[in-house]
Structure 1
Amino acid sequence: MSRIDIRHAHSMPKAQARKAIDEIAGKLHERFQVDCGWDGDVLNFSRSGIDGHIVLGERELHVKAKLGFLAAMFKDPIESEILRVLKEKF
């Protein structure tokens, strides 16, 4: 099993950061067909072979994901897309 663990600083108000995370979730759904849903300040996402979350902190986002065997083959493109969108949005 492969893992993604990304910490990304931000300086946005929480409401604005949450909106940006929603946009990221939309891109994840569009590109990788993941289902997403909020639980407080945590956006959970999953699909077959992928399970993770984005924690919205006051000054930092923390993205963690576990990738199953088949999804692990796509770790690099998934991680690259997350990093690209984080840089774009934050």
Structure 2
Amino acid sequence: MPDIRIAHAHDLPQEEARRAAREVAEQIARDYQVEVEWNGDVMQFQRPGVNGLLVLAPNEALVEVSLGFLFRSFAPVIEQKLAAKMRKVFG
């Protein structure tokens, strides 16, 4: 079960939604120094202590993050930051 789960509805055309998802992915990679890999509309990211995915569906973007012991205390801050970015890019 993920420590953070953020689902955000959107009404963007798929190509715009992909651009928005890439923007979220870039922030995740920059802020948490994770390796990012795209497979279609699913982005997986990981580093020691942090792993998760971003799934882009036609009307929803979903981010799930699992945190290791050392990162769990930062879960509220990470969730707040991710939720704010998703609101910004997905409307």
TM-score past 0.5 threshold: yes
Corresponding letter in the other structure for 2:81: E
Moved over 2 A (4+): none
TM-score between the two structures when normalised by the length of structure 1: 0.92
Q: Which residue of 2 aligns with 1:87?
A: 87
CA distance in 1, matches of 2:64, 2:2: 11
TM-aligned CA deviation for residue 2 of structure 1: 6.2
Contact 1:37 1:45 in 2 (8 A): yes
Structure 1 residues 38-86: Cα deviation after superposition (integer angstroms, max 9, x where no partner):
1111011111111100110010111111111011121111111110101
Aligned residues: 90
Paired-residue identity, %: 38
Q: Which residue of 1 aligns with 2:40?
A: 40
CA distance in 2, matches of 1:41, 1:49: 24
Any stretches of 5+ residues in structure 2 without a counterpart?
Answer: none
TM-score between the two structures when normalised by the length of structure 2: 0.91
Any stretches of 5+ residues in structure 1 without a counterpart?
Answer: none
